[in-house]
Each structure stands twice: as C-alpha cells, then as structure tokens.
Structure 1
C-alpha cells in the first residue's frame, strides 16, 4: 500500500502522521509527502515576479520537516519520499497522486463554522474541492482530530451506504484495512420510495459478506431521517465509531455528477465538513486519462 499525504505542517498534521504509521499492519509500505507552495505566497500580484528568496524559504521549511518524518517512518520499516511543488494545491495533489499511482490520499480539513464559511466551503477547502475530482480514495481528518495512542481509526467503522454502485465499491475498499478492523456498523438512511424488505435483504448480504471476510462484529441499521448527512453523523456518535466510510457520490449523482467539478450539497461533502472524526471517501470509477487531460488543459 502506498499513500500520499499532502501537508502544510499544521498543528494536527503530526497526529495524522502517527495514525498513518498504524496502517503498517494493513500493508502500508510507502508514504509520499507533498508540500504545495501556493502561488500567492511567492509571486507579486501586480508584476507576476517570482520571489525566489521566499520560495527557497518555503522549500527549506518543507524539506526540514519531511526529513524528520522520513526518519520516524524508517524506524517502522516504512519507506518515504517527498515533493515540494509550486502551484495550486488541488492540481498538484491530483498530479502527484496520478504520477505515484497511490492507493490512498490523506488530507487534513479545517472546518468552517461561520455562515459564509459553510456557504462557500465547497469553493474554499482543498479537501472538499479535491474529492470532487479525485480518482483515488481519500481519508479526510478534521482539524479537531486527536490521535489515539493504541487504537487505530479503523477499529470501529460506520459504513454509510445508499446501496448505489459506489457504495458497494466502498465496502470492498474497506476490506484493505481488515487487519485493523474490529467492528463495522452498516447504516442506510431510508428514502421515501425504499422497499424496506428489499433494503434489509441487501444490508444483510453486506453484513454476511464482511463476516465471511473475517470481520466478526458486523451489524446493520435502518434510519428514518429527513437529512441523510445529519443521520449519518448522529449514528456515528451513537455507535461511538472512530471512522465514517462512504462513497463520494450516491445513486442520484452517479451519472450527472461523475466529472462535474462544481457540484454542491452532496451528502459526502456535508458529512466531511461537519464530522469530528475522520471520513473515508471512495470515488466512483473515473478514468485517469480524462483527469490527466483536465489537468493538462488547466480546467
């Protein structure tokens, strides 16, 4: 397993790093670090002049931090390398993920609590923008995250499913972390037209599948709620889970939003922005060649 961890060395970044180390038990072999120097930090707006001295300061700061992290990972037998890139964060993260062909991208996310922050969060957050275009699973840590010394976030998981194609991809992806998992709760928020018996049968099939894969404590629950995102978050709190896992898009979004860079109001986006625990998001099948072309054209 290879993961990409872009960071700007915020206070909660080291806690995320310690959580990444626990993935060694699930087959983690290499971590790729990335520090993106945003253009506005090193370019004069009016003239477009590159402030080489400022750029070198940014590069030096990143290199010093990453070398320390590399030494730490070496103690655990995990390979590590790093990149420092100049440009837009989302583009450089996606570019690096494609070049390195990673299995997982890990991001920190600072929640927006003001009314305007929430209203425009889909435009202002690297994490929330990245999940719109990624072809790679993304593990998002809130800035409030506090690492548990002995417990992995994968120990107790809520899988939020709407039984879409992408939801089943999420179930399969979770199995990559099987050695770390002790408990899974599969939740489904009922929709108006749901056939409850049919939904229950499908949930039971998921439960049996996970048990057959060696996860002993697996259950499911049906939830009636007017807001799916709130229902998922409330259930996660009730079940005292450490992680929420879900597809980035659901049933009604799978076709019309597959490559849309500016979709608003999705359940995954709201859960990610409001959660106080990490959220694992699995994307739909997206052709990497189309994403590369998008990056090339600067879309």
Structure 2
C-alpha cells in the first residue's frame, strides 16, 4: 500500500504520521509526502515577480521536516519520499496522487469552533474541496484528533451505508484494513416513517461478508432520523468508534452525477466537517486523468 500525505506541518501532523505507522500491519509499504507552496507566499501580486529567496526558504523548511520524518519511518521499515511543489493545493495533491499511483490520500482538516468558523468551515478547506473531486480514497484527520498509543483508528470502525453503488465500493475498500479491525458497526439511516423490508436482508449480507473476511465482531443497525449526518455522528459517539467510513456520494447523488461530475453529497461533507475522529471516504468510479484536466481548467 502506498499512501500520499500532503502536509504544511500543522501541529497535529506529526500525530497523524505516528498513526499512519500503525497501517504497516495492513500492508503499508511507502508514504509519499507532499508540501505545496502557495504562489501568494512567493510571488508579488502587483508585479508577478518570483521571490526566489522566499521560495528557497519554503523548500528548505519542507525538506528539513521531511528528512526527519523519513528517518522515523526507516526505523519502522517503511519507505518514504517527498515532493515540494508550487501551485494550488488541490490541483497539486491530485496531480501527485496520479503520478505516484497512490492507494490512499491522507488529509488533515482544521476544525473551527467559533460561530463564524463553523458558519464558514466548509469554505476554503483543502480537505473538503479535494474530497469533492478525488478519484482516490481519502482519510481525513480532524485537528481535534487524539492519538492513542495502543488503539489504531480502524479498531472499532463505524461504516455508514445507504446501500448505493458507492457504499458497496466502500465496503470492499475497508477490507484492505481487515488486520486492524476488531469491531465493525454497519449503520443505515432512513427517514422517520419510511420502511423497506429488503434493507435488513441487504445489511445482513454485508454483515456476513465482513465476518467471513476475518473481522471478529460485526453488527448492523437501522437508525431512524431525518438528518443522516447527525445520526451517523451520534452513533459514532454512542459506539465509541475510532473512525467512520462511508462513500462520498449516496443514492441520490449517483443520479445527479450524470449531469455534474463533481457532485458532493451533503451528508459526507457534514460528517467530514463535524467529526472528531478520522473519516475514510471512498469516491465513486472516476477517471483520475479526466478529473485532473477539469480541475486545471477551473484553476
């Protein structure tokens, strides 16, 4: 497994790195680091002049940080390499994920606790923007993430499914981390008053599939709530879950994708934005190169 970890060395980044080392048990072999230098930091707005001294300063800071991280990973038998690029973060992350053929992209998401921070939290977020366009699975760590020495983030996972095509892709992807999973809770949220007899049968099939794949303890629950994101977050807290996994888009979004390639389900967005534990998001089938071209056009 090869992981791409873009970072600007936030305070919580090193805690994420230590958590990633635990993925070695699930087949992690290499971590590729990426530091993106924003053009605004090294280019004079009015003249367009490149400040070479500032550019070199940014590169040196990143290289020194990554060399320290490389030494740590070598101690654990994990390969490491790094890129330093200048440009828009989302574009460069997608570009590097394609170049490196990454299996998973790791992103940090700074949570905002003030009133205005919460109001505008989904605006300008690299993590939330990247999720909207990614063709790669993404694991988002909130800035409130608390690292635990003995517990890994997949130990007690909450899997949210709406039984859409994308959610079944998520189930299969989760099995990559089976060696780390002790307990999995599958939840399906339906609006109050709705009922479908086939739901229990489908959830039971997923439960059996996960058990037969080697996960020790699996259960499923049907929740009634008009706000799926709230139900997912509340159940994660009730189950003392160590992470949440879900598809980026659901049943309704799948239909809308015919008209909008970048449709991003509001449920996944809200869960990612509000969760205090890592969220694993699996995208629908998308052609990475095509998305890269469209993102470059928008830039």
User: What range is the shorter-chain TM-score in?
Assistant: over 0.9
How far apart are the structure 2 equivalents of 1:257 and 1:233?
26
1:39 Cα offset (Å): 1.0
Residue aligning to 1:167: 167
Residue aligning to 2:92: 92
Residue aligning to 1:184: 184
Check if 1:71 corresponds to 2:74. no
Which one is further off, 243-252 or 119-128?
A: 119-128
Residue aligning to 2:38: 38
Check if 1:228 corresponds to 2:228. yes
Residue aligning to 1:101: 101
Q: What count of residue pairs does the alignment treat as equivalent?
A: 299
Residue aligning to 1:200: 200
Deviations 1:203-247 (A, max 9, x none): 101000000101120000111112100100000000001000000
Residue aligning to 1:14: 14
- Secondary structure of 1:202's aligned partner: helix
Q: TM-score, normalised to structure 2's length? A: 0.96
Residue aligning to 1:271: 271
1:162 Cα offset (Å): 0.5
Residue aligning to 1:286: 286
Contact 1:38 1:86 in 2 (8 A): yes
Residue aligning to 2:51: 51
Contact 2:253 2:263 in 1 (8 A): no
Deviations 1:263-285 (A, max 9, x none): 56610000000000000000000
How far apart are the structure 2 equivalents of 1:275 and 1:43?
36
- Secondary structure of 2:197's aligned partner: helix
- Secondary structure of 2:270's aligned partner: helix
How far apart are the structure 2 equivalents of 1:48 and 1:67?
31
How far apart are the structure 1 equivalents of 2:272 and 2:261?
17
How far apart are the structure 2 equivalents of 1:255 and 1:265?
11
Long gaps (5+) in structure 1: none
1:291 Cα offset (Å): 1.4
How far apart are the structure 2 equivalents of 1:293 and 1:109?
25
How far apart are the structure 2 equivalents of 1:257 and 1:283?
12
Residues 159/21 of structure 1: CA separation in 2 closer, same or farther (3 Å cut): same
- Secondary structure of 2:255's aligned partner: coil
Residue aligning to 2:249: 249
Contact 2:190 2:226 in 1 (8 A): no
Contact 1:103 1:137 in 2 (8 A): yes
- Secondary structure of 1:49's aligned partner: coil
Contact 2:59 2:84 in 1 (8 A): yes
How far apart are the structure 2 equivalents of 1:117 and 1:284?
30
How far apart are the structure 2 equivalents of 1:220 and 1:161?
10
Residue aligning to 1:137: 137
Deviations 1:43-78 (A, max 9, x none): 111111111111111100000000000011011111
How far apart are the structure 1 equivalents of 2:60 and 2:209?
49
1:297 Cα offset (Å): 3.0
Contact 1:2 1:29 in 2 (8 A): yes
Residues 153/31 of structure 1: CA separation in 2 closer, same or farther (3 Å cut): same
